[in-house]
Amino acid sequence: MIVVLPGWIFGGFLAAQLLVGGLLWLLSNSPLSPLGAINENLLTSAAAALIYLVTLGLVIGLPWIIKKRRTTLSDLGLHRLPTWMDIWTAPAGLVVYFLISTALIYLATVLLSGFDVTEVQNTGFESLSQRYEYALAFLTLVVIAPVAEEVLFRGYLFGKLKKFVPIWIAILVTSLLFGFIHGAWNVAIDTFALSIVLCLLRLSTGSLWAPILLHMTKNGIAFYFLFINPTLLNTLGG
């Protein structure tokens, strides 16, 4: 399980990207393709949402259809509505995440030759100018991505792993995979730290709502620095 489940998640995500990418390629090369008239950021948003939807369908749906291995809302941590505890726990988790991330990135800077702490993750959104483009990017990065990723990683993967292995191994495996899929070293380390806290929130609250709220908050802060006020970090850094 410690290898199969992470491999299943990664394979599902990769398969979804290939399926959606292939579909878009076929449509774009069709003589009657409507894609040329669609705004690029709108297309990016739709593609991202579709990739997450297909990934969830493959990862959670296929075992249910083929082997009758049903994953319930309780398994995913979505068996109840959010509570005030979830709402107040998320900001505390944000502080802990910042501290862990800062410490790990500092260690990486000291120990890893050529480590680039300034490398920026490619979000797929470029040259935002219209209000609806900002709204689409916000919806994709701050709402859709956190919800889908929490269901996949802290809901499905971590929820199942902790039934078969010690909690600390389930947290480590989940967080390593979560960091790995985010690419660049600095982003991977940061999201690894985030995942540790998200897993702990899932454990402490017994639900996925606090992790979702923390993930949304973190992505919302990143969205502000990337798209709303990108010069602020440079200003703060001197």
Q: Are the CB atoms for 174 and 77 separated by under 8 Å?
A: no
| Rounded Cα gap, residues 193 and 175, in angstroms | 7
Give the rounded percent of residues in the chain with a pLDDT score beyond 70: 95
Residue 233 confidence class, pLDDT cut points 50, 70, 90? low
Give this prediction's pTM: 0.92
Strand, coil or helix: 31:
coil
pLDDT by residue (tens digit) across 174-188? 999 999 998 888 899
Separation of alpha carbons 166 and 2, rounded Å: 11
Q: Burial-class residue 31 by CB neighbours within 10 Å (0-12, 13-18, 19+).
A: exposed
State the pLDDT at residue 26: 83
Cα–Cα distance, 104 to 148 (Å, whole number)? 26
> pLDDT at residue 149 above 60?
yes
Angstrom distance (rounded) from CA 220 to CA 205: 22
Q: Which of 168, 194, 166 is nearest to 181 (CA)?
A: 194
Instruction: Report domain extents, the chain.
Output: 4-236
Is residue 98 pLDDT above 70, yes or no?
Answer: yes
Q: Which of 123-137, 162-176, 179-193 has the lowest mean pLDDT?
A: 123-137
Q: Is 224 a residue whose pLDDT tops 70?
A: yes
Q: Is pLDDT above 70 for 235?
A: no
Cβ partners under 8 Å of residue 78, min gap 6: 151, 155, 207, 208, 209
Task: pLDDT band for 122, please (50, 70, 90 cuts).
Answer: confident
